Structure 1
Amino acid sequence: MAIPQDTNPPKKELRREMRRLVKTLPQENPMVLQLLRDWLAGQPQVKVISTYSPLPGEVDIMPLVTEFPHLRWVFPRVEGGELVLHEVSEPAIDLEPGAFDIREPKTGLPVVDLFHVDAFLCPGLAFDEYGGRLGRGRGFYDRLLEHARGDALKVGVCHKEQLVPHTFGEAHDVVMSRVISG
């Protein structure tokens, strides 16, 4: 599958601006962690949740994996041009540096079919009030989420500085169910 190219000038400029901004943001964000704890506590239907290993400037939500051990946590691994989800129970042991220097599940961990995922916690460079998400430009999350169950929750996670008026979404961009920021 071809990687989408930035043909939308405002989106391209926003991506450039947000790449500069996230370099200045910390990974720690206690407010976002607490908002996510509260949200998870109110979602009894969520049993399997996809999360991410943070890049510099993305909110580190790894503590949730140990705080909510009753949930089945899955992490993406880049395989070819796609993200494949693998179950992870101990991030410190089960994750290793992978594509783009992001910590990914080790080879051999159980693969989890998208059909089983109830919620996706998604990083991004920017989010807007309409649920628009601006990713890093390679389309990995959009391709993954377009095949998710229709009732699966898609939750953008970010610092308040990453909220923008508009992300200049295009037809291939998957909209978030909600955005949690602080």
Structure 2
Amino acid sequence: MDNSPSPNHIHKHEKATLRAKVRTEVKKLSQAERQSLSLQLCSLLEQQEIWKQAQSILFYAPLPDEPDIWKLVEDSIATGKTVLLPRFHPEQNQYVACHIKNIPRDLSTGQYGVREPNEFCSTISLNHLDLILVPGVAFDFAGHRLGRGKGFYDQLLEVLHGTTCGVAFDQQILDKVPVEPHDIRLSCILTPTRWQSATPPRPVLK
């Protein structure tokens, strides 16, 4: 009888080890450093042509250990871009993209402690987004992403069209993220110091 660990078990252990390692590195950043690096990251994104042309953008509500892109959310609403945030849909056990126009009115804290659009916010098809900003625990510059292990963004990435951009501190970039056959590569990776194209975006369906 073969008692050796299965490849899947080894893969999960490898991912868990990498998550712990990256989180340790990110925790070394002070709050002031995170704020400064987040502003640097936002500024670099604003210089990219895809940002200038994008009219519909799916953001994320940043957690304390993630780059804070909230300034871009506020600026995009003010300049008339279509701003969307994910909202967890319990019946479907997945996230949907919801349009927000007024932050105090349209947002509340969701079941996972993350700011989410309220139920009255309209949903927009995941096929019609120009740019999707994707958080994660770790990335590599080939466009691979290591998530938090719940798989919600993996579900989104399977059906999203448009440019998918991984957003990270430089401390979250690895030489190579372990991947599985079903993993979806991102179009590009953004850090405070670098914008790296990875794979062509899936065309937006108008």
TM-score range, shorter chain: 0.7 to 0.9
1:44-95 Cα shifts (integer Å, max 9, x gaps): 2x22110000011111111112323221011001112211110012223321
Q: Normalising by the residue count of structure 2, what TM-score does the alignment of the two structures yield?
A: 0.78
5+ long unaligned stretches in structure 1: none
- The alignment yields a C-alpha RMSD, in angstroms, of 1.9
Secondary structure at 2:47 match in 1: helix
More helix, by proportion: 2
- Sort the Cα spacing of 1:62 and 1:167 in 2 relative to 1 into closer, same or farther, 3 A: same
CA contact (8 A) 2:51 2:131 kept: no
- Whether the 8 Å contact between 1:24 and 1:57 is mirrored in structure 2 is no
Task: Give the secondary-structure state (helix, strand or coil) at the position aligned to 1:84.
Answer: strand
For 2:59, the equivalent position in structure 1 comes to 51
CA distance in 2, matches of 1:88, 1:156: 22
On the 8 A contact 2:45/2:51 being kept in 1, the answer is: no
Give the equivalent residue in structure 1 for 2:97.
85
Aligned counterpart for 2:46 among listed residues 9, 33, 37: 37
User: Which of the numbers 1, 19, 23 marks the counterpart of 1:15?
Assistant: 19
Task: Report what 1:138 is aligned to.
Answer: 150
- Tell me whether 1:112 sits opposite 2:124 in the alignment: yes
Preserved CA contact (<8 Å) 1:51 1:73: yes
| Counterpart residue identity of residue 125, structure 2 | D
Q: Kindly state the Cα deviation for residue 6 of structure 1 after the two structures are TM-superposed.
A: 6.7
The structure whose Rg is larger is 2
Task: Give the alignment's TM-score, normalised by structure 1.
Answer: 0.87
Structure 2: which amino acid aligns with 1:90? N
For residues 76 and 50 of structure 1, the distance between their equivalents in structure 2, rounded to whole angstroms, comes to 7
Q: Which has the higher contact order (CA 8 A, sep 6+)?
A: 1
How many equivalent pairs are there? 175
Residue 69 (structure 2) pairs with residue 65 (structure 1): no
Identity, in percent, stands at 33
Counterpart-to-counterpart distance in 2, 1:131 and 1:103: 26
CA distance in 1, matches of 2:10, 2:57: 32
